[in-house]
Structure 1
Amino acid sequence: MTKHQPLSAPDHPAEGKRKGLRRKITGGLFLFTGGMHLGIVMANPQYYASFAKGAYIPLVEKAWDKIFMAAPARWGTAVSLGEATLGILLLRGGGAAKVGWVGVIAFHFGLMLFSFGIWLWSVPALAFLIPAARADWGSLRR
């Protein structure tokens, strides 16, 4: 680093750590939420029954009831494994993290199909995730 280079330059070590920190926070959160879903499955998979009740597209609620709630333990376990996998991909870094970033962003857009109430979580989450992924993307190598 030269004497006149600003501290916010992309190649500054602190900037790289901040990028990695956002990825690690997101990866850790997805590992945690994957564990939460596993706990729900183990405790009472019927907890998922009302999740799609606020869906503004009737097909979403019908599909949830007919598909997910037909085997909530199986599908809840799939959600758990999916979230944990995305977390691991982000924590691993490199090219795997690119898949993780795409996955967590797509996951939040998918959540928005279920109700406007979920938008209270998803919109701020996406406001964090999209810039974090963009900032991290260039530093991720295969």
Structure 2
Amino acid sequence: MTTHAFLHSQQTKRHWGGPVVGGFFLSMGGVHLGIATSDPSTYQHFADDALFAFVRDGWQDVFMAHPTFFGLLLMAAETTAGILLLLGGRFATVGWAAVAVFHVLLGLFSFGIWVWCVPALVLIGYLARRDTTTRWGRARHLGGGDVRPVQLRSAAAPR
């Protein structure tokens, strides 16, 4: 390994944000697995204070028509977002977008949920920009410009 490649690998050590948020979403997927399989009626009143009638009506008419199915679908989405963040790289880029969209949509359910969603979105943006496994994170971390993978040269290779 050349000195440059060693320094590059040290500079791009993964930021803690992706694994922490990914682990959180994995655990929340587990929570929804428990709710959906044990007592799906727990979801019944979640949308009662929704900001728009279509959210309240849609929740009751669609989600609560089959709460176990949709609870498991919610579990699958959160678990997938968590796994994507844990994988890093291009997968993390999709994971960060999924986590952000999840929180924007969650904000439709009430102003009270904004107490969680708004700070969470700020934190998600902050942590996503520092995720050194994503293209934008590497560019920011290494000083901008086009970021290409480091190619290792053996000691015997001509220069």
Same-fold call, TM cutoff 0.5:
yes
The one-letter code sitting in structure 1 at the alignment partner of 2:76 is L
Whole-Å Cα distance in 2 between the matches of residues 124 and 15 of structure 1? 27
Whole-Å Cα distance in 2 between the matches of residues 128 and 16 of structure 1? 20
Runs of 4+ in 1 over 6 A off after TM superposition: none
Deviation at 1:14, TM superposition (A): 7.5
Q: Provide TM-score, normalisation by structure 1.
A: 0.85
Match of 1:28 in 2: 23
User: What aligned pairs does 1:38-117 form with structure 2 within 5 A after superposition?
Assistant: 38-117=33-112
Taking structure 1 as reference, are residues 118 and 14 closer, same or farther at Cα in structure 2, changes over 3 Å only?
A: farther
Q: When the two structures are aligned, how many residues end up with a matched partner?
A: 130
* SS at 2:48 equivalent: coil
CA RMSD of aligned residues (A): 2.1
Unpaired segments of 5 or more residues in structure 1? 1-10
The one-letter code sitting in structure 1 at the alignment partner of 2:107 is M
Deviation at 1:139, TM superposition (A): 3.0
Higher helix share: 1
Whole-Å Cα distance in 2 between the matches of residues 139 and 28 of structure 1? 22
Decide which of 116, 128, 131 is 2:126's aligned counterpart: 131
The one-letter code sitting in structure 2 at the alignment partner of 1:104 is V
Q: Provide TM-score, normalisation by structure 2.
A: 0.76
Larger radius of gyration: 2
Unpaired segments of 5 or more residues in structure 2? 1-7, 140-147, 150-159
